[in-house]
Structure 1
């Protein structure tokens, strides 16, 4: 049995492959192929289906081997995700030359590169009033009165 899955771009192919796999049925020893034939696509073409990869607190995205994170990104693409966003939080470091911050910059760049490599869009989130640990206190975030 030949199955052809095509798309307008790499993410379209991933979406189609994901739909095919998700619509198929599986048992312990067999796979019944999806009976879907025709055209399909996201309900809102061009819309962001984005995820935020937190890259602080030494969590999975910061600590896991890149091949594991890349495989996870590919799985997300099969579910229809098309955008990965990350942040670079400098507030834990005293200088842009601090080795841990430099390492985090490289890791962040590698995450964005990996996402673009499989056709995903990328975003970098920066907080306007966040800076290095040595920043003047008058430019730092302050909690609004009454905010918990």
Structure 2
């Protein structure tokens, strides 16, 4: 898993093995062995690779793109899977997403859309906090 992630991230970031080796202060042959799965980077190099590619350490080590065809997501970005739209427009939000965003039964969600980008679902409390912050900034500007 990690060897494919290391290779795919390097290619995605348009870096050569030599460039990655220079940034990590190792030889190009070390990078080749990591990418072929002949050896595995120690934890310090894993942390440096995760930082270089802006991914979580967990995703660098464990992410498996076989199930979804997507590469390792950047830090803070998640792919939770696919939801099927029910007959009456219902969807089930995957458990991992509900847990991460602390969503529970009865929570209100705001659905927003952009014809070019698609639909987004935002928990009401997050949207309210955002609007309160924007409103506060407007009031501060008016007071100047």
**Structure number with higher helix proportion:** 2
With structure 2 as the length reference, what TM-score do the two structures score? 0.29
Q: Which has the higher contact order (CA 8 A, sep 6+)?
A: 1
